[in-house]
Amino acid sequence: MLNSKTPPQFARAKLSPLAVEVPSCCQDERCSTAPEPDVLPDNGDRYSWIVTGMDCAACARKVENAAKQVPDVQQVQVLFATEKLLVTAARDVRKEIEKAVSAAGYTLRDSAAPAVKAPSGWRENLPLVTLIVMMAISWGLEQVNHPLGNLAFIATTLVGLWPIARQAVRLMRSGNWFAIETLMSVAAIGALFIGATAEAAMVLLLFLIGERLESYAANRARRGVSALMALKPEVATRLRNGERETVAQSELRPGDVIEVSAGGRLPADGRLLSETASFDESALTGESVPVEREKNDKVPAGSTSVDRLVQLEVISEPGDSAIDRILRLIEEADERRAPVERFIDRFSRIYTPIIMAIALIAAVVPPLLFGQSWGEWIYKGLALLLIGCPCALVISTPAAITSGLAAAARRGALIKGGAALERLGQIQHIAFDKTGTLTAGKPQVTAIEAMDSLTENELLALAAAVEQGSSHPLAQAIVREAKERALTLPATDAHRALAGIGVEATVDGERLLLSSPTKLPADRLSAAWQQRITELEAEGQTVIVVIQQTSLLGIIALRDTLRSDAREAIAALKNIGVQGIMLTGDNPRAAAAIAAELGMDYRASLLPADKVSAVNEMNALQPLAMVGDGINDAPAMKAATLGIAMGSGTDVALETADAALTHNRLTELAGMIGLARATHNNIRQNITIALGLKAIFLVTTLLGLTGLWLAVLADSGATALVTANALRLLRRR
């Protein structure tokens, strides 16, 4: 039941009309009945490549379009963050795909092949440097000799135009008729024909500068992913029959014993065979302090052995280590584009041909119908063509989202895509699981009270015997306490878990039940015991009742401790206007004690189905995030607007969640939400910059106040501003 501090009633949150794939569907894209276009089908063979040469999300679409032209291709997907091309086809289409993508101007290599060294910055920037030099020479000649300067500008234009026009032709052959390269080529050639040679050259120069800025932004955003991929060493030292051998990390299999020297990184997830060792896991968890591991502890791939030579047993399959799983989540994040990004993508495909049609009308209608000057209106038409380039608009959303996701990952928060990032920014209420999320998840025995016929140790030994083998935190705490007291446990059999009640077993022929007091018949406990249990629960302790047959043997009280950062995290959320509520299966009095320490509301005695009902109820009033770490939290996380998993949680919780705190720091929740909100503001700013500059220059061009030079600034300049604005998110604290 809800405590007396009833949470305030919130009005239904109004989401942006862009927050869905189909505007008339619903507020959450997951409820759409339409098939998800980004999910590859299971039928057919699947092939993958690494794509080089992509500078922005628009390039990814060009690669997709080129691959889709190949017959028998069922589905194509480009994962921009990891530069992967995934293709599902009914037959072997590898050679045809490679030929089609190459014809579109991009290079493919097998995803399993070793990485190719990136070209030097000098070679990469050579076309731009060449054009700048030629532009300077042309301008100098123009000052002393106009005809010679005019020829120099023509030569500069042709040199700059050649790679752009060649790429435009390639893209048209691959099905991309309205690419930015096509618009630039038409504008530059048109400017040459009407004698605007200097402006033609400047248009191409500004375009190439914009391209380099886009490439810089893409590389900055992908740098974190590249660093993650480089964490796993290519080779490992494997021990077999007492002999050391150097093998590729892809050859390691579960059960292999490997050796990692001091300062070396783990090539796979491992189980420590050495007695103790310190590992630097900061690359994966963001935690700068080395972690002390003991024998049989699990250590994730990419961790560094700090101070000694260690031996480990490999426990992960090739391609399924902690690093590989994070990379897969990043790839999935790239698939799940934000609804606003999808809208902008679709809008730009319609917008570009419309702008080309308007530019054509502006160039020919005034001269034909009103006797205006052909040169003047062709010039204005070309300027409109450049103003209408969708580059800045197309990159406005993915640039911000990519920067936002990269900034979150760097802080130890993995968000699965733009759609999740968009929903995260709308969250005003967060529901927390208690055990393992708000608390440390390691309860300790705080009190043992037995009937006169038993001692404390005898009662504890009986309870520990029944709880042996259980994975429940309370059971493990009881067994751990018995071991610390060096108690001998009696033999048990007929173990049985009673769903929602407790656990029972047979000891010396007697049925022994461990249960919550609330699950027992009302007459089973005397008034004195009821009062004592109430006192313990009021202190925030969980009480386990030990029953033999029908007789009470005693009670055991346990208490879970708060996470060290729980209070700070809840306070930080309140500061940004996000309210928290605790959902727990624990009893109301124990839940009330924890909630009081944190100053938050709670609902207690909830089964997994009850948590789902509570989440659905609150979600109907306001977008809600659910934070949890266990299998029992997964349904509620799925029901919420957004599910957030603790990094130490179960695989099921991590798979279900839309985001994960990889370093387990609750204090990052407020930072995640703040970053999501900043990303949304950044997107709005970027769209305003992109469309605002176009609107201004559209009017000034039609009035004859601005020409081609400033027209290209409406796109290349806007692209540069949008990119720079998005990169600010990477510096956000």
Catalytic residue numbers, as ranges: 433
Element (H, E) at 495: strand 492-498
SS3 state of residue 26: coil
Between CA 340 and CA 349, with CA 344 as vertex, the angle to 5 degrees is 150
Q: Say how far apart CA 594 and CA 231 lie, in whole Å.
A: 40
Q: DSSP E strands: which ranges in 233-320?
A: 235-240, 243-248, 257-260, 270-272, 276-280, 291-294, 298-299, 304-305, 310-314
Q: Say how far apart CA 378 and CA 193 lie, in whole Å.
A: 10
Whether 463 contacts 507, CB under 8 Å: no
Q: Say how far apart CA 207 and CA 168 lie, in whole Å.
A: 14
Extract the tokens encoding 82: 């990891």
Return the biggest CA–CA distance within the chain.
114
Whether 707 contacts 383, CB under 8 Å: yes
Kindly report the backbone phi and psi dihedral angles of residue 179, in degrees, each rounded to the nearest multiple of 5, phi listed first.
-75, 160
Chain position carrying tokens 């100053």:
599
- Pick from 181, 226, 214, 227: which is nearest to 399 by CA? 214
Q: Side-chain half-sphere of 569: how many Cα atoms within 13 Å?
A: 22
Q: How far is CA 303 from CA 282, 283, 287, 321, 729, in A?
A: 8, 7, 11, 12, 28
SS3 state of residue 54: coil
The residues near 681 (Cβ < 8 Å, ≥ 6 apart) are none
Q: Say how far apart CA 270 and CA 252 lie, in whole Å.
A: 11
The residues near 630 (Cβ < 8 Å, ≥ 6 apart) are 433, 435, 436, 649, 650, 653
SS3 state of residue 40: coil
In the chain, what is the straight-line distance between the N-terminal and C-terminal CA atoms, in Å? Answer: 39
